[in-house]
Amino acid sequence: MFTGIVQGLGTVLERHAAGGGAVLTLAPSFALDDPQEGESIAVNGVCLTARNIGRDRFCADVSPETLKRSTLGTLRAGAQVNLERALRLSDRLGGHLVSGHIDSVGRVMQRQTLGDFTLFTFSLDRALARYVVEKGSIAVSGVSLTVNACGADSFSVSVIPHTLKETALGALAVGDAVNLEVDIIGKYVERLLGGRQAGQRLDAAFLAEHGFF
């Protein structure tokens, strides 16, 4: 699990095909002081397994499915990506719970400067619209953001100057693709409600029985 609080940028040093997928070699902007071989690192919001980890680089295998369903399929040497190491139970949850499993690829529909802030509007798969709510959370290329407004096939977010500077969102232009992961809690709630017996009430007892409190 991740929080959507990006630790730094990474640069793609190399990409080569392997086993129908690809292997990425990445250089993080921060030192991996306590690397754990096989640990999870989110790359533009995609949970990947890191190997051959050094202080200034690591490798990650990317499956054909991930290449097809995320923006990682378009990465080339020199590209900059958002990086986040996996959440530890002792860490602050500064963003929201992010699994690193991409739901869809969206595109920048509009970028507008509003004072010191930047308002982005992204396209959204209509099948995911029910999980995106005003003032709720969404991960855009691994960055936890608050939804300003949402419609049937789009949503907007306001990005602060620090986030623009410290993440790859600052380089986005109209038409660019981004990885989207909706709030996982909404999907679990929907699944849970769909499994209710006819006439069963959604009350405190039901929620307690299923571990919500």
Domain boundaries, the chain: 8-85, 104-188
Cβ–Cβ < 8 Å for 12, 75: yes
Instruction: State the pairing for strand pair 104-114/21-28.
Output: unpaired
pLDDT of residue 191: 81
Range 126-142 average pLDDT: 96
Task: Give the chain's largest Cα–Cα span.
Answer: 57
Q: Does domain 8-85 match CATH 2.40.30.20?
A: yes
pLDDT of 132 > 70? The answer is yes
**SS3 of residue 130 by DSSP:** helix
Range 163-185 average pLDDT: 97
Same fold, 8-85 and 104-188: yes
Spell out the CATH class of 104-188.
mainly beta
**SS3 of residue 42 by DSSP:** strand
- Going by pLDDT thresholds of 50, 70 and 90, the confidence category of residue 213 is low
- pLDDT digits 0-9 by tens, 181-195: 999 988 888 887 776
Range 58-78 average pLDDT: 97
b/e sequence 36-61, b meaning 16+ C-beta within 10 Å:
eeebbbbbbbbbbebeebeeebbbbe
Compute the C-alpha angle 47/51/53, nearest 5°: 110
Q: What is the pTM of this model?
A: 0.89
pLDDT of 203 > 90? The answer is no
Percent of the chain exceeding pLDDT 70 equals 93
pLDDT of 208 > 80? The answer is no
Nearest-angstrom CA–CA distance, 128 and 150:
11
Strand partners, 15: 24
